[in-house]
Amino acid sequence: MILKRLLTAPALFAAAGALLAAGLLLAFLYAPTDSSSMGFSQKIFYYHAPIAECALLAFAIAFVAAILYLRSDDPRYDVLGMVAIRLGLLFSLLVMATGMIWGRAAWGVWWTWEPRLTTFFVVCLLYTAYFVLRQTVEEESRRATFAALFAIVAFISVPFTFFATRLMPSGLHPVVIGPGGGGMPGSDLLAFFVSMIGMTLLLLAMIRQELAVEHLKEELHHLKNRIGA
């Protein structure tokens, strides 16, 4: 059963890898170079934006898992929430790093306190605190309940980040998908959507793999307890 789960992750990884490679080729060979002040540095967008969307998707998965845990008390949802937030933070780290590089190239600064960056930074801090909270509670079911409640409250910050560019337009972060298709030509959108699907599959593959690892750890823990190792 565990091996079966591990075997499905590579299939997802392979599909994600193929789509991400195709997205990269489309971004560099098919999509035209941006004619605005961003120029060639706009090519960072084709992975940067999908990674950001996936980070927020991971936090959304953790939010749903938290609700399911509180309704069912099933520890599997606690593990799913923890894994999703862990990967959400990994993706957030990548967004911040690539965003800073892009910011330096396009705006001339590594960091600016504009709405999207600020709200994303707050999201990262909140979800880092999630793991601090988990460390402070010893008892398993209480830890899972507190973590679920925290994941629900923390998720309030996610829509603010997603809609930050629409609610408080600063001119720095453009609206990618909006009424009328946003500000991108079709060739840009194709590269973006292929990368987006690839990145989403990568996130799902990573979640599956992490869940399998956590399950394996739990099995080992029970086995050790049974034989007194």
- Tell me whether residue 83 or residue 123 sits nearer to another protein (CB atom): 83
* One-letter amino acid of 116: R
| Interacting residues toward another protein by CB under 8 A | 6, 24, 39-41, 43-44, 47-48, 51, 90, 93-94, 97-98, 101-102, 104-105, 202, 206, 209-210, 212-213, 216-217, 219-220, 223-224, 227, 229
Provide the minimum distance between the beta carbon of 42 and another protein in the complex, in angstroms, as a whole number: 9
Compare residues 71 and 224 and give the one whose CB is closer to another protein.
224
d(CA 27, CA 42): 10
Q: CB-wise, 81 or 103, nearer to another protein? A: 103
Closest distance of CB 94 from another protein, Å: 6
- Rank residues 93 and 167 by Cβ distance to another protein and give the closer one: 93
Provide the minimum distance between the beta carbon of 195 and another protein in the complex, in angstroms, as a whole number. 11
Least distance in Å: CB of 52 to another protein?
A: 12
Q: Between 119 and 209, name the residue whose CB sits nearer to another protein.
A: 209
